[in-house]
């Protein structure tokens, strides 16, 4: 698949079934994903892969804060929505010349590359967070150190063909783009199209 086609056709898949990539294939793809821009090449992350019955233990921790039976049931079922839950742990290098926010940006860039690579191999994924990322029970279960951040899970598997995410055609999204010149902003201050309802390609 060409890169542009991969970008155009990737969608977060909410319903994922077997097969998921093996641990080895995941690590292989991660090696490529980690070529995303990463100031200082710090690779400030680690992954914890959760599959099979281990997802049940994760579900119990998701439900730990719930007060009613219905919420408990719903939270416990969440990790069962995909065969592989790849837990993304942010491990910032503290007191480094590369600030935390740049390390987080590098981690996010890596995830986007990984999702595209998974898509290219025919797998589906969705990045999920929610209240479990702040849950003491979940952090303890997964053995996180105090300085580590739980920044979500990539739910990974094969898209369920009966419940695939809708492939929307590209939407003309409004982006705020200004052209700066030595004279300042030509025309009036602000974006090229103050109303901002043009695509970038329409404005530059």
Contact residues: ligand FMN, CB under 6 A: 11-12, 126-130, 152, 165
CB 139 within 8 A of CB 108: no
Nearer to ligand FMN among residue 77 and residue 193 (C-beta): 77
| Smallest distance, ligand FMN to C-beta of residue 21, A | 18
From the number of C-beta atoms within 10 Å of its C-beta (0-12, 13-18, 19+), residue 84 rates as buried
Alpha-carbon distance values, 179 to 22, 42, 176, 194 (Å):
47, 34, 10, 12
Cβ closest to ligand FMN, residue 38 vs residue 192: 38
User: Shortest Cβ distance from residue 12 to ligand FMN (Å)?
Assistant: 4
Q: Which is nearer to ligand FMN, 123 or 191 (CB)?
A: 123
Cβ nearer to ligand FMN, comparing 127 with 178 = 127
What is the rounded distance in angstroms from the CA atom of residue 149 to the CA atom of residue 195? Answer: 38
Residue number with CB closer to ligand FMN (133 or 193): 133
How far is the C-alpha of 204 from the C-alpha of 196, rounded, in Å? 13
Minimum distance from residue 76 beta carbon to ligand FMN (Å): 16
CB of 92 to ligand FMN, least distance (A): 16
Q: How far is the CB of 184 from ligand FMN (least distance, A)?
A: 35
Question: Which residue number has the CB closest to ligand FMN?
Answer: 12
The residue ranges of DSSP E strands in the chain, in sequence order, are 16-17, 45-51, 84-90, 124-128, 149-159
């Amino acid at each position: 698949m060409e890169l542009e086609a991969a970008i155009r056709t990737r969608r977060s898949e909410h319903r994922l079934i077997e097969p998921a990539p093996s641990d080895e294939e995941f690590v292989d793809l991660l090696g490529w994903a980690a070529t995303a821009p990463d100031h200082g090449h710090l690779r400030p992350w680690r992954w914890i892969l959760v599959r099979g019955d281990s997802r049940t233990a994760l579900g119990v921790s998701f439900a730990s804060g719930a007060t009613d039976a219905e919420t408990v049931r719903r939270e416990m079922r969440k990790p069962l929505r995909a065969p592989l839950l790849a837990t993304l742990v942010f491990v910032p290098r503290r007191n480094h010349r590369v600030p935390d926010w740049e390390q987080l940006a590098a981690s996010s860039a890596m995830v986007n590359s990984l999702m595209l690579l998974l898509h290219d191999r025919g797998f589906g994924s969705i990045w999920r967070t929610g209240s479990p990322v702040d849950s003491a029970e979940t952090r303890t279960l997964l053995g996180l150190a105090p300085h580590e951040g739980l920044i979500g899970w990539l739910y990974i598997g094969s898209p369920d063909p009966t419940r695939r995410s809708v492939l929307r055609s590209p939407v003309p999204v409004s982006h705020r783009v200004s052209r700066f010149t030595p004279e300042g902003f030509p025309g009036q201050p602000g974006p090229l199209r103050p109303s901002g309802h043009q695509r970038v390609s329409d404005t530059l």
